[in-house]
Structures are given as structure tokens and as C-alpha cells.
Amino acid sequence: MLLPAKAEVARQLRRYRAWERVMLAAPHDRTVRITFEDSGYTLCVLMGKRCAREAADAAEHYLRTQQIASVRDQSASPRPAAAVGRGPVAEHRSPAGT
């Protein structure tokens, strides 16, 4: 399955959440409600869901799993060549017999 770009998902999710807050503050405003529903529809199409709330949840999950994967990739990367094979730093010792 072809997945949408993370940046676009994040942008549409921010837009949806912003209009959700505005709509909750002014539920009687028809223009606000229509714009909120349009943003929900866009998120539904992008995430392949039939309900805006499901689409928002799916978008959050998608973005969260992408962040976890990138953190895993960074932590699994090999250490720099200079550090490979070196154990803990030994204490400085005086030459034997001194």
C-alpha cells in the first residue's frame, strides 16, 4: 500500500485540529463548521478512513510510528570507526616499578 508523505499528513492533521478548536468555540458559525468538515474530509481521503475521527487517530498513529522507527534507526546505527573495538577507558598507570 502506498503511504502518504509524513509532512502532508502532519500538515493536514494540524489543520484539522485547528479547525476543530475553532468549531468547538463557535459551533453556530456555519462557515467554520463547513471548513472544519472539509478539513476532516481531506484527512479521511489522505488516510483512507470513512470517519474524520478515525482519520485523525490513524494520522496520529502513522506519525508516531514513523517517529519511533526513525529513533530506532538512529540508535541502531553503528558507532564511529574510532570507537569500534575499544572497551572502557583504562585508568592512567605509572610505569611498572615507579
Residue pLDDT, tens place only, 15-63: 999 999 999 999 999 999 999 999 999 999 999 999 999 999 999 999 9
CA dist., res. 81 & res. 89, Å (int): 16
pTM over 0.85: no
Q: Is the pLDDT of residue 86 over 80?
A: no
pLDDT band at 90, cuts 50/70/90? very low
